[in-house]
Each structure stands twice: as C-alpha cells, then as structure tokens.
Amino acid sequence: MSASNTDFMKLDELLTDEERLVRDSVREFVDKNVLPIIEEHYQAGQFPMQLVGIMGELGYFGANLEGYGCAGLNNIAYGLIMQELERGDSGLRSFVSVQGGLVMYPIYSFGSEEQKDQWVPRLQSGKAIGCFGLTEPDFGSNPAGMRTRARREGDCYLLNGSKAWITNGTLADVAVVWAKCDDEKVRGFLVEKGTPGFGSRDYHNKHSLRASVTSELFFDNCRIPASNLLPKTEGLKNALMCLNQARYGIAWGVMGSAMVCFETARRWSLERKQFADKPIASHQIVQQKLAHMLTELTKAQLLSYRLGQLKDAGKARPEQISMAKRNNVAMALETARIARDILGANGILSDYPVFRHMANLESVYTYEGTHDMHTLILGQSITGIPAFE
Ligand code: TGC
Ligand code: FAD
C-alpha cells in the first residue's frame, strides 16, 4: 500500500528519522509476517502465537517504557507501531496494547522492585504473556461497582469474584486483577497462571476480533501471597491510569485500519466499471465518499500527532485521550463501512481486508470505554457536570 495516498497533509515531514525508521520497520514486519497469514487465523478464530517471540525481539512490547530491556521510544514512535500493527489486524494491536499498556505499565508504575525485576523483562521479550482484568459481567462502563474482593488473611490475600471479556485471559502467565479490599479501595494484584482457585475460559464464536483471545476469569478462594499486591495502587484511579496508555495506543492504531480500508476502496473504485464502461470512481457520489474518508483520516492523524507531543511533554490529559479514542475509532469504523459499501458485494469477501477490519472495529468502539462513555467524559470536562448516573 502506498503510504502517500493516506498522508494528504504530509505528516511524514514532521516525523524524525527515528520515528520514520520505526514505522517503516513495523510496516515491513506486518507486510511480511502478518498480512499473508492473518485471514486464515481470523477465520480459524486463532491468535497467531508464532508472532509473539518475534514481536518481543523487535521491541514492540512496552516500547514507550524505559529500562528493563524496553525500547524507550517516544510516544509518536509508539503510536506509529500501533498504527502499523492494526493495519494488519486489530487483534494484533490489542495483544501489544494489553501487554505494554495494561500489564507492563502497571507493574512498571505501581509495582515493587521485585515485581518489576520478575515480570517486566519477561513481558518485554514475549517470554511471558499478561492480561488485565477490570471488567466484570455486571460492571463494564462502571468498574467502580466491581464485586471482586481481595480479603487480607495473614501473609495472603484471598480473591473471590470474576472478570469478563479479558483479552489474552487464557494465554496469560500473569493477570493484573483489580479487586476491592476491606477498606473498599480498589487495588491491583498479580495472579499467576496455575494458582489454585484461579480459572479461565475463552469466549467462542465471536464475530469480531476473531484473531484475538478473549476470556472470562474466575477467582474462587484464590490465595495469593500479600507480596503480589501492586503496592502503589490505592484506588480505581490507578486502573484508569492504565486505560490512558491503552486508549492512546488505540487512537493511533485504528488509523492503520482506516488506511487499509480507504486504500482498498480507492483502488477498487478506479478498477470497477459500471454504466457506460466508466470506473465507479468517476461518479460524484463515490468521489464524495472517498473525499470524506480521507478528510476524516487526515483530521485523526493531526489529532493523534498533537496528542503524542502532549504525552511526550507529560501534559496529555485523560479527556484529551478520550477525544482521540472517541473520534478516531468512530472515524475508522465509518471508513471501514463506507469502504465495504464501495466494494459492493465483494466487500463481504475475505479476499479483501475490509470486512475483517469493520467487524474488529465494532469491538474497538466498545472496549477501553465505549464511544458514549468518552462522550460523557468530554461532557464532564466541558461543563464540569458528570452525567454518568
Ligand atoms: P471518577 O470518580 O470519575 O474517578 C475516580 C478517580 O480517578 C480519576 N480518573 C482518572 N485518572 C487517570 N486517568 C483517567 N482516565 C481517569 N479517569 C478518572 C479521577 O480524577 C478520580 O481521581 P480522584 O483523585 O478524585 O480520586 O470515577 P468513576 O467511577 O465515576 O468513573 C469514571 C468513568 C466512567 C469515566 C470510568 O469508570 C471509565 O472510564 N469507564 C470506562 C471503563 C473502561 O474503559 N473499561 C476498560 C476496561 S479494559 C479494556 O477494555 C481493555 S481492551 C483490551 C484490548 O485492547 O484488547
Ligand atoms: P455496558 O457498560 O453494559 O454498556 C452497554 C451500552 O450502554 C453501551 O452503549 C454504553 O455506552 C451504554 N452506557 C453504559 N452506561 C451509560 C451511561 N451512563 N450513559 C449512557 N450510555 C451508557 N475489559 C478488561 O477489563 N480487560 C480486557 O482485556 C478487555 N478486553 C476486551 C476485549 C473485547 C473483544 C471486548 C469486546 C471487550 C473487552 N473488555 C475488556 C471489556 C470492555 O472494556 C467493556 O466491554 C466495555 O468497557 C463496555 O462494558 P460492557 O460491555 O459491560 O457494556
């Protein structure tokens, strides 16, 4: 795919040599290793596990963290990694978002030195896989209501409850689990695979993110050492801070899906002929659709770039991240739907990547805060009035 077709405002010129190098190397990785196999994995409902070690070696996990073997990239380069991975498939970007933003980040930011030494290098290299358990069957948009409990008993915590819709739940060697303690404060805990009382089970027959593993987690008197508490967590706020990392990655990632859908539709419209042997691209309605898609993608690129600058300066506010997640996912989903329309009947075939991206984006619209939750977060920021209840 020619990147120039989706770089209308020449954002490439704003990138540093390092940022461009990172983007181009991930683009090559995706072209060589992901695009040839992803459809098969999607149809089979399997995550391409063979890519985990390679992505670890290439430094994609926790790439914007410093030390412990992490690449220490800036947030623009990190965003470009997400964009290129999601150009392959949202499931691949999800894997990397969760591993870096939702597992390595909380251990790195709220963990003890021992926890960091034990887990961050293994997660960085892909030798260990992590998952993040916040959502519960009855508490999705409102995690504050969670029922999972962690009761202190001597040198241990006893966990009881369940988590729903957890990416990589059955694959994970370590789960970052958020639970309410006796003082009613939510704290984070590390629960290792195989701990008695900890179970997991995958969702099957998904119509979206089929090349990603999504699971339920169960805790039935699951006893973990007190040293598995993330010591710097003391409220839901710490869990929400992790979401900022993942939402930022999503804002960049979905531009990859939009790029591939736009380019597929553009090319198709130039080749497909209807009426008087003219390509459908010669009709004003089709041109309007292409113009709309590219304009919205370009606006999303500018938003993400500026957000990346703010994040690098330590000034990105959660509501700014919400604006980018909300806008960019909606843009990508609309782009995928219009691209599917332009391809006509062929748009439903797996010969083209469009429907797969469209179906994936339905999940991305919902996870990491639904589109409407981000509307309410922005509403609160604008008016000072929370409208959640
Ligand atoms: P609220 O009273 O507003 O906030 C509690 C405290 O947290 C602070 N805060 C944040 N801090 C950092 N970053 C954020 N994004 C923050 N949002 C809020 C807030 O200032 C307050 O601090 P303090 O000092 O006053 O105590 O809390 P609330 O319970 O009313 O909830 C607010 C709400 C609705 C915005 C929040 O619950 C929310 O974001 N809900 C959406 C849930 C969500 O996004 N879940 C995602 C689960 S993980 C996932 O989906 C992974 S997808 C994986 C993949 O990529 O595959
Ligand atoms: P609900 O909260 O029940 O919302 C349903 C609808 O009601 C939405 O349209 C919502 O916007 C609307 N709504 C809710 N409250 C309000 C309100 N106050 N005002 C107006 N409208 C409202 N979670 C994790 O913890 N870890 C993961 O790794 C993870 N991975 C996921 C992977 C996939 C594939 C999916 C689909 C989800 C994943 N999730 C994960 C869960 C995800 O974060 C939740 O699905 C999401 O937060 C929404 O919760 P819910 O599905 O319970 O929907």
pLDDT, tens only, 75-85: 999 999 999 99
* Residue in this structure with the two tokens 């984070």, named with its chain if needed: 188
Ligand 2, residue 131: give the atom nearest the CA: 28
- Alpha-carbon span 358 to 346, nearest angstrom: 14
Task: Provide the phi-psi class of 159: left if phi over 0, else alpha when psi is between -120 and 50, else beta.
Answer: beta
| Residues taking part in catalysis | 368
Q: Which atom of ligand 2 is nearest to the CA of 212?
A: 34
| Residue 255: predicted pLDDT | 98
Residue 230 Cβ contacting ligand 2 at under 6 Å:
no
Kindly tell me if the per-residue pLDDT of 186 is higher than 60. yes
Q: What residue type is assigned to position 244 of the chain?
A: N
Closest CA to 116 of 101, 131, 105: 105
**Neighbouring residues of 365: CB distance < 8 A, sequence distance ≥ 6:** 329, 330, 333, 371
CB of 373 within 6 A of ligand 2: the answer is yes
Per-residue pLDDT, averaged over 120-147, amounts to: 98
Query: Which residue type is seen at 219?
Result: F
What is the tens place of the pLDDT at every residue in 306-361? 999 999 999 999 999 999 999 999 999 999 999 999 999 999 999 999 999 999 99
The whole-number pLDDT of residue 3 equals 60
Q: What's the whole-number mean pLDDT along residues 45-60?
A: 98
pTM beyond 0.95: the answer is: yes
Give yes or no for residue 127 CB within 6 A of ligand 1.
no
Burial class (CB in 10 A: 0-12, 13-18, 19+), 366: middle
Pairing state between β 130-133 and 174-180: parallel
User: In angstroms, rounded to a whole number, what is the distance separating the alpha carbons of residues 143 and 380?
Assistant: 18
Per-residue DSSP letters for 242-274? HHHHHHHHHHHHHHHHHHHHHHHHHHHHHH-B-
Task: Identify the CA nearest to 182 among candidates 158, 205, 152.
Answer: 152
Confirm or reject: Cβ of 369 under 6 Å from ligand 1. yes
pLDDT digits (tens, 9 = 90+) for 251-297: 999 999 999 999 999 999 999 999 989 999 999 999 999 999 999 99
372 lines ligand 2 (CB under 6 A): yes
Strands 198-202 and 214-225: antiparallel
pLDDT at 107 over 80: yes
For ligand 2, whether the C-beta of 95 sits within 6 Å is no
Please name which of 62, 191, 170 lies closest in space to residue 123, comparing C-alpha atoms.
62
Given the CA of residue 377, which atom of ligand 1 is nearest to it? Answer: 35
Asked whether the predicted pLDDT for residue 159 surpasses 60, the reply is: yes
DSSP assignment string, 143-164: GGG---EEEEETTEEEEEEEEE
pLDDT > 70 fraction of the chain, expressed in percent and rounded: 99
For residue 1, the model assigns a pLDDT of 37
Say how many Å lie between the CA of residue 368 and the centre of ligand 1. 9
**Residue located nearest, by CA, to atom 35 of ligand 1:** 377
Q: What is the pLDDT of residue 4?
A: 72
Which pLDDT tens digit goes with each residue over 1-26? Answer: 346 799 999 999 999 999 999 999 99
pLDDT for 2 equals 45
List Cβ neighbours of 265 (8 Å cut-off, separation of 6 or more).
289, 290, 293, 338, 339, 342, 343, 354
Nearest CA owner, ligand 1 atom 5: 237
Beta pairing partners, 279? 273
228 has a pLDDT exceeding 90:
yes
Question: Can you tell me the distance from the alpha carbon of 362 to that of 340, in angstroms, rounded to the nearest whole number?
Answer: 14
DSSP letters for 270-299: HH-B-STT-BGGGSHHHHHHHHHHHHHHHH
Domains of the chain (ranges, CATH numbers): 3-125 (1.10.540.10), 130-234 (2.40.110.10), 237-383 (1.20.140.10)
Of how many residues is the chain composed?
Answer: 389
Instruction: For residue 140, report the distance from its CA to the centre of ligand 2, in Å.
Output: 4
The tokens of 136 are what? 């519960």
Mean pLDDT of the residues in the chain: 97
By most ligand atoms within 8 Å of CB, the mutation choice from 215, 240, 325, 328 for ligand 1 is: 240
Q: Distance, CA 308 to ligand 1 centroid (Å)?
A: 20
